[in-house]
Amino acid sequence: MELVMEIMLAVIPVVIVGSIVVYVIHRLKRKYNQGTLGKKKSEGAQNLLDSLIPMGMLFGCAIGVILGMFFPLSLLYTVSLGAGIGYLFGFFSYKFYSKKGTNYS
């Protein structure tokens, strides 16, 4: 029974993060094909927009490391789930920030 739990703890993050990545890539591909990817007028705003998804992954990894220190889960488990969830939140912030008609720059 212990072996099954170890296998599940190794497989579950791969399945969750893999499905998040497939979802985000599919949505970005759809936005690219429609020509609705975010464009900002200033260079600084465009750089921020382009780096929202990687920043989400970094923040997710950091939160995963912090949670891994306090909970009895593997550090690999928490960091990989943190990166995947941060990737998803980075995509949502990209989507929010790139809406037409908003001028944050």
Asked if residue 93 is part of any domain, the answer here is: yes
Asked if residue 89 is part of any domain, the answer here is: yes
**Number of independent structural domains in the chain:** 1
Asked if residue 31 is part of any domain, the answer here is: no
Rounded alpha-carbon distances, angstroms, from residue 84 to 11, 46, 87: 14, 23, 5
Asked if residue 34 is part of any domain, the answer here is: no
Range of the structural domain that residue 71 is part of: 48-99
Asked if residue 60 is part of any domain, the answer here is: yes
Asked if residue 69 is part of any domain, the answer here is: yes
Residues 56-104 have pLDDT tens digits of: 999 999 999 998 889 888 888 888 899 999 999 999 998 888 875 555 5
Contact 41, 105 (CB under 8 A): yes
Given this model, what pLDDT does residue 104 score? 53
